[in-house]
Amino acid sequence: MKVFAFVSGLLLSVQLMAVNLNTATIEELSSLKGIGKSTAEKIVTYREQQKFNRINEIKNVKGIGEKKFDMIKKDLSV
């Protein structure tokens, strides 16, 4: 039973981890609410040219406005 609780807790903590804008894969970025593969690819292209220093810089990526940012900001990190 203790092992089950440990594994459950570990899985939950992994799910709660924020997606790092500077290291996330297209698949990880696509897992964010409202972010599809196309937008995830734009995020990767943007970071290849300029590192993200703050999460709100994601709004510089075409297709991500204030509303979408508000939906995902709790799930982002740099």
What domains are there in the chain, each with its CATH number? 18-77 (1.10.150.320)
pLDDT at 2: 61
Residue 74: closest CA among 6, 36, 19, 31: 19
SS (H, E, C) the chain: CHHHHHHHHHHHHHHHCCEECCCCCHHHHHCCCCCCHHHHHHHHHHHHHCCCCCHHHHHHCCCCCHHHHHHHHHHEEC
- Least confident interval from 12-21, 24-33, 42-51, 52-61: 12-21
Whether pTM > 0.85 for this model: the answer is: no
pLDDT surpassing 50 at residue 24? yes
Mean pLDDT is lowest, of 9-13, 30-34, 41-45, for 9-13
